[in-house]
Structure 1
Amino acid sequence: MLGLAHLDRPFDYLVDERSDADAQPGVRVRVRFAGRLVDGFLLERVDRSDHDGRLAWLDRVVSPEQVLTPELAVLCRGVADRYAGTMADVLRLAIPPRHARVEKETSKTTDEPPTAPEPPAPDATGWSRYDGGPEFIAAAVAGDRPRICWQALPGEDVAERLAELAAAVSAASLGVVIVVPDQRDLDRLEAACTPLLGEQCVTLAAGLGPTARYRRWLSVLRGHARVVIGTRSAVFAPVTRLGLIVVFDDGDDSLDEPRSPYPHPREVAVLRAHATGAALAVGGHARTAEAQALVESGWAHDVTAPRAVVRAQMPRIRGISDDDRRVAGDPLARSARIPGIAFDAARRALADGHPVLFSVPRRGYLPSVACARCRAHARCRACHGPLQMNDRGALACRWCGRAENRFVCPTCGARAVRALTVGDRRTAEELGRAFPGIPVVTSGGDRIVDELPEGPRVVVATPGAAPRAPRGYGAAVVLDTWAQLDREDLRAAEHAVHAWMAVGTLVRSAAEGGAMVVVADASDRAVQALIRWDPVGFATVELGNRSELGFPPAVTMASVDGPEQAVSAFLDLIDMPPSAQTLGPVPLPAGVRRPAGLDDGPVERMLVRTPRAHGRELAAALRAAQALRNARHEDTAGIRVQVDPPTIG
Structure 2
Amino acid sequence: MGEAQSGGERTGEQLALLREAARRGSTARARPRTWRGAALAGGLPVARVLVDKGLVHLDRYFDYAVPAAMDAEAQPGVRVRVRFGAGQREGRREGGRLINGFIVERRADSDFPGVLAPLAQVLSTERVLDPGLLRLCRAVADRYAGALADVVSLAVPPRMARAERAPSPAPGGALPAPGPGGWARYPHGPGFLDALARGAAPRAVWSALPGPGWPEELARALATTLAAGRGALAVLPDGRAAARVDAALAALTGRDHHVLLTADAGPEARYRRWLAISRGAVRGVVGTRAAMFAPVRDLGLAAIWDDGDAAHRDDRAPHPHAREVLLLRATQENAAVLIGGHALTAEAAQLVESGWARPLAAGRETVRATAPLIRTVGDDDEARDEAARSARLPTLAWGVLRDGLARGPVLVQVPRRGYAPRLACARCRTPARCGRCHGPLASVGAEETLRCGWCGTEEPDWHCAECGGARLRAVVVGARRTAEELGRAFPAVPVRTSGRDHILDTVPDRPALVVSTPGAEPVPEGPGYAAALLLDGWALLGRPDLRASEEALRRWLDAAALVRPGDDGGTVVVLAEPTLRPVQSLVRWDPAGHARRELTDRASLGFPPVSRMAAVSGPPEAVEGLLRAAALPDSAETLGPVPLPVGEPGRPRRTGDPPPGERWERALIRVPPGSGTALAAALKTAQAARLARREGPWARVRIDPPDIG
User: Considering the TM-score relative to the shorter chain, is it more than 0.5?
Assistant: yes
1:347 and 2:402 aligned: yes
1:616 and 2:667 aligned: no
Partner of 1:536: 592
Unaligned runs of 5+ in 1: none
Structure 2 residue aligned with 1:626, among 687, 700, 703? 687
Distance 1:157 1:524 in 2: 29
Structure 1 residue aligned with 2:631, among 575, 578, 583? 575
1:141 and 2:192 aligned: no
Q: What is the correspondence of 1:131-210 to structure 2 with a 5 Å cutoff?
A: 131-197=187-253, 198-210=255-267
Distance 1:224 1:256 in 2: 29
Partner of 1:220: 277
1:44 and 2:105 aligned: yes
Q: 1:564 Cα deviation (Å)?
A: 3.9
Partner amino acid, structure 2, of 1:485: L
Distance 2:544 2:230 in 1: 44
1:440 and 2:506 aligned: no
Distance 1:374 1:613, change over 3 A: farther
Distance 1:489 1:449 in 2: 29
Partner of 1:268: 325
1:21 and 2:72 aligned: yes
C-alpha deviations, 1:512-550, integer Å up to 9, x for none?
011111111211001011011110000000011111111
Partner amino acid, structure 2, of 1:162: L
Partner of 1:367: 421
C-alpha deviations, 1:85-129, integer Å up to 9, x for none?
1111111110000112221223xxxx6x61545556523221111
Distance 1:329 1:357 in 2: 26
Relative contact order (C-alpha < 8 Å, sep 6+): which is higher?
1
Task: Give the count of matched residue pairs.
Answer: 639
1:319 and 2:376 aligned: yes
Partner of 1:75: 136
Structure 1 residue aligned with 2:583, among 510, 527, 551? 527
Distance 1:85 1:349 in 2: 51
Distance 2:564 2:185 in 1: 18
Structure 1, 492-501 or 599-608: larger mean CA deviation = 599-608
Distance 2:631 2:577 in 1: 47
Structure 1, 469-478 or 114-123: larger mean CA deviation = 114-123
Q: 1:574 Cα deviation (Å)?
A: 2.6
Distance 1:87 1:210, change over 3 A: same
Secondary structure of 1:51's aligned partner: coil
Partner of 2:343: 286
Distance 1:472 1:170, change over 3 A: same
Partner amino acid, structure 2, of 1:524: L
Aligned 8 A contact 1:440 1:459 in 2: yes
Distance 1:326 1:512, change over 3 A: farther
Distance 2:348 2:429 in 1: 41
Distance 1:323 1:519 in 2: 14
Secondary structure of 1:178's aligned partner: strand
Which one has the largest radius of gyration?
2
Distance 2:419 2:343 in 1: 29
Partner of 2:294: 237
Secondary structure of 1:507's aligned partner: coil
C-alpha deviations, 1:258-284, integer Å up to 9, x for none?
111110000000000001101110110
Q: 1:376 Cα deviation (Å)?
A: 6.0
C-alpha deviations, 1:112-147, integer Å up to 9, x for none?
x61545556523221111122111122122222211
1:93 and 2:154 aligned: yes
Q: 1:245 Cα deviation (Å)?
A: 0.6
C-alpha deviations, 1:552-606, integer Å up to 9, x for none?
1011111223344443343333332222122233454899715378233454432
Aligned 8 A contact 1:507 1:514 in 2: yes
Distance 1:158 1:369, change over 3 A: same
Aligned 8 A contact 1:120 1:196 in 2: no
Aligned 8 A contact 2:615 2:703 in 1: yes
Across the aligned residues of Structure 1 and Structure 2, the Cα RMSD in angstroms comes to: 2.8
Partner of 2:165: 104
Distance 2:137 2:685 in 1: 18
Structure 2 residue aligned with 1:422, among 477, 494, 497? 477
Q: 1:375 Cα deviation (Å)?
A: 5.0
Distance 1:503 1:428 in 2: 17
1:600 and 2:657 aligned: no
Aligned 8 A contact 1:126 1:161 in 2: yes
Distance 1:400 1:634 in 2: 35
Distance 1:411 1:78 in 2: 56
Distance 1:519 1:327 in 2: 16
Q: 1:381 Cα deviation (Å)?
A: 6.9
Distance 1:377 1:647 in 2: 27
Secondary structure of 1:12's aligned partner: strand
Partner amino acid, structure 1, of 2:139: G
Distance 2:347 2:99 in 1: 39
Q: 1:407 Cα deviation (Å)?
A: 7.5
Q: 1:329 Cα deviation (Å)?
A: 4.5
Q: Give the TM-score, by structure 1 length.
A: 0.92
Q: 1:481 Cα deviation (Å)?
A: 0.5
